[in-house]
Structure 1
Amino acid sequence: MTGTDFTRTEPTRTPPAAAPSTAFATENRKLPLPALLALATAVFVTSLTETLPAGLLPAMSRDLGVGESATGQTVTVYAIGTALTAIPLTAATAGWRRKRLLTTAMAGFGVANTVTALSTNFPLTMVARFVAGVAAGLAWALLAGYARRLAPAHLQGRAIAIAMAGIPVALSLGVPAGTFLGKAVNWQIAFVSMTVLTVALLGWIAAAVPDQPGLRQGARPPMLRALRVPGVSPVLFVTLVFVLAHTVLYTYVATFLDGVGMGNSTDLVLLVFGAASLASIWIVGAMINRHLRALTVAAALLVGVAAAVLALLSDSSALVYAAVTLWGLGWGGAPTLLQTAAGDAGGESADAAQAMLVTLWNVAMAGGGIAGGILLDLAGSRSFPWTVLLLLVPVLAVVVTARTHGFPARRTARTS
């Protein structure tokens, strides 16, 4: 999940310390596409690596000598690494120049991925996944803010949308491709591919991404102040529970498909899910300025309908594909919706609200992996969609009731 750094941008002027290339981009009112696409690739590779085991659980379990519920915790421990360290590490490195921080994070990420690919020992794999999560969390905490600062004020929203497009691309192309590689060769090749892509990305960042200064000492507002801002708490609650609901099923999607006789179609099912997610993020990007509340309600309802179909009608392959399409349409734009809602509600404390969102997002992903493993052992994989339905009830209730602050009918955008 992507987040924001602890930096602030004044929309009407270029900061004196900004890099010359940034000033040039602002002056000419154009988007620096090579730089933004490099950031999108960083989002892509870190998002893909987080969820990559979801399509490889059976093969990874066999080679690591543990059960699928245990192997599913490789997703959990990645999220724990991000959740535990994103805020303190971001605070500790707030003064670092952004390019140096991003390259350091991605280099550490590449090393951890390499260890994952080479390891045949489950505890070592878990340690490597934790370190990868730490590095990814540090990168996620600065990418949205970095993209915003590279663009002129009137194009900052579009710049963030381009950078965040790495998430649905990872879902629509990356996870199915990784699953295909894992089946065609072995799962280790999928992780080696992530290392190769990371090395290429480091060169791209060095060549194409302008540097930006870090945060001035004393410029960051107190973190807890954001919780007292009306609307922030409802958005954070929805983030926590919505992501938890999604992760319970998504982490074990290969296992669920095995249980309904579609284990050989995991890569195709994930491709359908990701393609729908990709469509969703562009729909949300086009409509979010006027319809944030309606889109959030629709997202939860679409995921709910998908879960109901998977719970009741999963014996039909055609209906499983239809449900997965609805799931992707509901889920794909969720990161953009929730990040925008948190920023709008937070106002002057938007950066703190975004940092909390990143942490809770990964807490939910860790919790989803743990809860899914427990459910798999106690009730079987068919319990997953029922759990999603149960969790979506409070999500919808909070979105519907937070009509004044959090998810208002008319969005009031606040540039930060």
Structure 2
Amino acid sequence: MPNALTRNPASPVVTEAQQGPKLPLLALLALSAAVFLTSLTETLPAGLLPAMSAGLHVSESAAGQTVTLYALGTALTAIPLTAATAGRRRKHLLLAAMAGFGAANTVTALSSDYLLTMTARFAAGVAAGLAWALLAGYARRMAPVHLQGKALAIAMAGIPLALSLGVPAGTFLGTALGRQAAFLVMTALTVVLLGWIAATVPDFPGQPRGGRIPVLRTARIPGVAPVLFVTLVFVLAHTVLYTFIATFLQRLGMGAATDRVLLVFGAASLVSIWFTGAHIHRRLRTLAVAATLLFAAAAGLLAVASGSPAVVYLAVVLWGLGWGGAPTLLQTAAGDAAGESADAAQAMLVTLWNVAMAGGGAVGGILLGALGAASFPWSVLVLLVPVLLVVLAARGHGFPSRRAHRTP
């Protein structure tokens, strides 16, 4: 998850973006493409577990830990890398991060050794984490204040696109041509994206020398801790189910429909992110409550699905509607709560997000081995209870009924 950067009024590029009446669509779409590639690469093994298990000569549970290592790479390095590169020009840093990301994907594609693959996945997570530490800030800085929610929604649209189109396409490529082909396609798309970013994305200065990320102080700001807690547990619940969705569907006799199920999930997520972008400026709290309830309803249906395709598809639609807008909701809530310390809040958010991704892969693997795939939706329900309680309790700060007017 990216961190919001502070505008520099002296920058002519920023002034133009502030005063311009329209969004810089091509630049925002380039950021969305970066979100798409990093999100897809993180979750791609979810659709390729059987192929990766066979190709690396390990169990499906072990293959699922490629998601865990990727997330750990981001979680362990997001805050220190963000702090260490705070003074660097943003565009150069984004290009370097994406280039490293492409190199790591190439190693993943060509490797048949489990340890080398895990190392490459960790490196990809590090590069992606650095990119994520820039993306939301870019989106907000390129837009006038009243359009920042829409700008962030456009940038974050890469997530449901990755889930709706990318993972099914990757699953198809992996099945038809082998798992290596899916990751090589990621490398090729990254090369194209590097040119796109270079041509369309404006540059921004980093923080002045001496700037730092006051992590502990920011965590004590009213509203920040509730948003971070919700991020951690909500994403953990999602990852437990999503990482092993192919395995869960196989249990229901729907393994062959994994790509179609993911397509429906992603389509519903696209609807969610569009709706969130249109209404977040005035209805952040309502959207957060609705997202949690929709996800819980989906988990309840999956818990009693018993192999009914109609129930599974209905549950997946509800899941997508609850999940799609979550990145925009949580990033906006964190930035609003932290105010001038938004950089630190977003750095902590991206760290906890990926801790949750890593934890979801690990917890899912344990649940699969100990209780079987049927335990996944019940685990999601248990996790969402405290999420809902915290969202409801954070009425004054974190998830307020009315957002304060802020500039990032």
Q: 1:151 to 1:290 in 2, by over 3 A?
A: closer
The corresponding residue for 2:271 is 279
Give the Å deviation of 1:116: 0.4
**Secondary structure at the counterpart of residue 368 of structure 2:** helix
User: What does 1:170-249 align with in structure 2 at a 5 Å threshold?
Assistant: 170-249=162-241
Q: Does the 8 Å CA contact 1:232/1:345 hold for their aligned counterparts? A: yes
Report the equivalent of 1:65: 57
Residue 90 of structure 2 aligns with which residue? 98
* Alpha-carbon offset, residue 219 of structure 1: 3.3
Alignment CA distance shift 1:117-1:221 (3 Å): closer
CA distance in 2, matches of 1:295, 1:97: 35
State the Cα deviation string for residues 337-367 of structure 1 (Å, max 9, x = none): 1111111111222221111111000001100
Question: Of 123, 136, 145, which aligns to 1:144?
Answer: 136
Alpha-carbon deviation of 1:22?
4.4
- The yes-or-no answer on 1:264 pairing with 2:256 is yes
- Counterpart of 1:189 in structure 2: which amino acid? A
CA contact (8 A) 1:343 1:414 kept: no
> Residues 24 and 343 (structure 1 numbering): CA distance in 2 closer, same or farther, change over 3 Å?
closer
TM-score, scaled relative to structure 1: 0.95
Question: How far apart in 2 are the matches of 1:28 and 1:312?
Answer: 52
Q: Which moved more, 1:301-310 or 1:342-351?
A: 342-351
Report what 2:28 is aligned to.
36
Separation in 2, partners of 1:316, 1:310 = 9
Please report how far the alpha carbon of residue 21 of structure 1 lies from its aligned counterpart in structure 2 after TM superposition: 4.5
Length, aligned pairs only: 408
In the alignment, the residues of structure 1 paired with residue 25 and residue 251 of structure 2 have an alpha-carbon distance, to the nearest angstrom, of: 44
Which residue of structure 2 aligns with residue 128 of structure 1?
120
Aligned residue identity for 2:379: T
Q: Which residue of 1 aligns with 2:48?
A: 56
Determine the structure 1 residue equivalent to 2:7.
Answer: 9
Q: Deviations over 1:66-98 (max 9, x none)?
A: 000100000000000000001101111111111
| In structure 2, C-alpha distance between the alignment counterparts of 1:83 and 1:209, rounded to whole Å | 26
* Separation in structure 1 between the aligned mates of residue 407 and residue 17 of structure 2, nearest angstrom: 18
Worse overlay, 154-163 or 280-289: 154-163
SS at match of 1:9: coil
5+ residue gaps, structure 1, are none
Write out per-residue CA displacement over residues 18-70 of structure 1, whole angstroms, 9 at most, x where no aligned residue.
2x554444444332222111111111100110000001101110111000010
Out of 351-360 and 27-36, give the one that drifted further: 27-36
Deviation string, structure 1 residues 182-205 (Cα, Å, up to 9, x no partner): 122211111111000000011111
TM-score (norm 2): 0.97
Residue-by-residue CA offset, 1:209-237 (whole Å, 9 max, x unaligned) = 12111111133452211111111111111
Any idea what SS the aligned residue of 1:56 has? helix
Matched, 1:82 2:74: yes
Letter in 1 for 2:260: L
